[in-house]
Structure 1
Amino acid sequence: MAWATFYRCWTRWLALILLSLLGAGAWGDTIKLSDQFTSEAIGRHLRVLDDTTGKMSLADVQAHRHDSRWEDRHSDNLNFGYSRSALWLHGELVNLASQQQDWLLGMRYPLLDYLDIYVVWPDGRVQHHASGDRRPFHTRSLEDRNFYFKLNLRQGDHVQLYVRVQGQGSLQAPLEVSTPAAYEHRAHVEQLLLGIYSGALLAMLVYNLLLCISLRDKAYLYYVAYISLFGLTQYTLSGLAFETLWPNAPIWGNQAAPIFMGLAGWSLVLFSRQFLNLHTHWPRADLAMLALQWLYLAAVPETFVLPYAIPIKIVTLATIVTPVLLLIITVGLLRKGVQQARYFLAAFTVLLLGVLLTALHMFGIVQRNFLTEYSMQIGSMLEFTLLSFALAHRVKLAREENERLQMAHALELEHRVQDRTRDLDKAMNELTRANERLQELTEQDALTGLKNRMFLSERMPEVWRQAQRWHTPVSVLMLDVDHFKRVNDDHGHLAGDEALKQVAGVIAHAVQRPGDHAVRYGGEEFLVLLPQTHTVGAAHIAETIRLGVQSLDFRHEGKPIPLTVSIGLASVVPTIDLPPQALLNAADQLLYQAKQKGRNRCALNPEALATMPRKSGAAHKPQAQHAPATPSESLKPAAGQPDPASSARS
Structure 2
Amino acid sequence: MAKFRILCAILLCWATTAGAVIAPSSQDNELLIGRDLSVLVDPEGRWGIGDVSGPFVDRFQPSNQLYPNYGFTSARIWLRFEVDFSLVRDQPWYLIQRHPIIDHLVFYAPDGVGGFQSIEMGDTLSFSERIFNHREFIFPLDSSADGTQTYYLEVWGKGALNLELKLASAQGLVERTYREQMLFGLFFGGLLVMLIYNLLLFFSLRETAYLYYVVFLGSLIISLLNLNGFGLQYFWPSWPKINEHYPFFVTIGAAALLRYSLIFLDVASRMPVAERWLQWLFRISVVMVPVSIFLPAPWSYLTNTALVLMVVLSLFAIGWMVWLKGYTAARLYVIAWSLFLLGCVVFSLSNLGLIPHSALTNYAPHIGGGWVAVLLSLALGDRINLLEYQRDSLSRDSEEAMRRHVAEVEQLDRDKLVFMGYLSHELNTPLNWLGSAKMLEAESVPKELRDAVRMVQRGQERLHQLVATSLRYFDLAGRDHQPAHGYCQPMWMLDKMLPDFAAAVDAKSLRIINRLPAELSVLACERELHDVFSMLMDNAIRVSPEGGVIEWLGVREEEALVIRVEDQGQGIVREQLDSIFRPFFMVGSGHHVDGFGLSLPMARVMITQMGGKIWAESAGPGKGAAICIRLPLAPG
TM range (shorter): 0.5 to 0.7
- Residue in 2 that maps onto 1:28: 19
1:116-142 CA distance string (max 9 Å, x none): 000125631422110001111111111
- Residue in 2 that maps onto 1:146: 136
| Aligned-pair CA distance for 1:43 | 1.3
Identity in percent:
30
1:220-252 CA distance string (max 9 Å, x none): 111111111111111111111111111111223
Say if 1:168 and 1:309, in contact at 8 Å, map to a contact too.
yes
Q: Which amino acid aligns with 1:386?
A: L
Q: Distance between the aligned counterparts of 2:217 and 2:288, measured in 1?
A: 19
- Residue in 2 that maps onto 1:332: 321
The question of 1:321 aligning with 2:304 is answered no
- Residue in 2 that maps onto 1:480: none
1:608-632 CA distance string (max 9 Å, x none): xxxxxxxxxxxxxxxxxxxxxxxxx
Q: Distance between the aligned counterparts of 1:49 and 1:71, measured in 2?
A: 6
Q: 1:380 aligns with which of 369, 383, 386?
A: 369
Q: Which amino acid aligns with 1:34?
A: S
1:236-269 CA distance string (max 9 Å, x none): 11111111111111223322x1111111111111
Say if 1:347 and 1:383, in contact at 8 Å, map to a contact too.
yes
Pairs within 5 Å for 1:86-235: 86-120=76-110, 123-154=113-144, 156-235=146-225
The question of 1:56 aligning with 2:72 is answered no
Q: Distance between the aligned counterparts of 2:387 and 2:120, measured in 1?
A: 57
| Aligned-pair CA distance for 1:365 | 2.8
Say if 2:329 and 2:382, in contact at 8 Å, map to a contact too.
no
Say if 1:35 and 1:99, in contact at 8 Å, map to a contact too.
no
1:185-231 CA distance string (max 9 Å, x none): 11111111111101110111111111111110011111111111111
| Aligned-pair CA distance for 1:350 | 1.5
Deviation larger for 201-210 or 70-79: 70-79
Q: Distance between the aligned counterparts of 2:40 and 2:227, measured in 1?
A: 27
| Aligned-pair CA distance for 1:274 | 1.5
| Aligned-pair CA distance for 1:357 | 1.8
Q: Which amino acid aligns with 1:43?
A: G
Say if 2:100 and 2:135, in contact at 8 Å, map to a contact too.
yes
Q: Distance between the aligned counterparts of 1:31 and 1:102, measured in 2?
A: 16
Say if 1:392 and 1:399, in contact at 8 Å, map to a contact too.
no
CA, structure 1 residues 226+67, in 2 after alignment: closer, same or farther (shift >3 Å)? Answer: same
Bigger-Rg structure (1/2) = 2
The question of 1:42 aligning with 2:45 is answered no
The question of 1:291 aligning with 2:275 is answered no
- Residue in 2 that maps onto 1:344: 333
The question of 1:265 aligning with 2:254 is answered yes
CA, structure 1 residues 226+98, in 2 after alignment: closer, same or farther (shift >3 Å)? Answer: closer
Say if 1:24 and 1:71, in contact at 8 Å, map to a contact too.
no
1:93-138 CA distance string (max 9 Å, x none): 1112255432111111111000100012563142211000111111
Q: Which amino acid aligns with 2:48?
A: S
Q: Which amino acid aligns with 2:201?
A: L
State the TM-score, normalized to the length of structure 2.
0.57
Say if 2:83 and 2:148, in contact at 8 Å, map to a contact too.
yes
CA, structure 1 residues 156+267, in 2 after alignment: closer, same or farther (shift >3 Å)? Answer: same
Unaligned 5+ residue runs, structure 1?
1-21, 401-650
The root-mean-square deviation of aligned C-alpha atoms, in Å, is: 2.3
Q: Distance between the aligned counterparts of 1:164 and 1:88, measured in 2?
A: 5
CA, structure 1 residues 398+103, in 2 after alignment: closer, same or farther (shift >3 Å)? Answer: farther
Say if 2:23 and 2:85, in contact at 8 Å, map to a contact too.
yes
- Residue in 2 that maps onto 1:309: 298
Q: Which amino acid aligns with 1:59?
A: G
Report SS of the residue matched to 2:196: helix
- Residue in 1 that maps onto 2:522: none
Report SS of the residue matched to 2:288: helix
Q: Distance between the aligned counterparts of 1:30 and 1:98, measured in 2?
A: 14
CA, structure 1 residues 98+187, in 2 after alignment: closer, same or farther (shift >3 Å)? Answer: closer
Number of residue pairs aligned between Structure 1 and Structure 2: 377
- Residue in 2 that maps onto 1:418: none
Report SS of the residue matched to 1:33: coil
State the TM-score, normalized to the length of structure 1.
0.55
Deviation larger for 362-371 or 229-238: 362-371
CA, structure 1 residues 301+193, in 2 after alignment: closer, same or farther (shift >3 Å)? Answer: same
CA, structure 1 residues 204+98, in 2 after alignment: closer, same or farther (shift >3 Å)? Answer: closer
Unaligned 5+ residue runs, structure 2?
1-12, 390-636
CA, structure 1 residues 290+398, in 2 after alignment: closer, same or farther (shift >3 Å)? Answer: closer
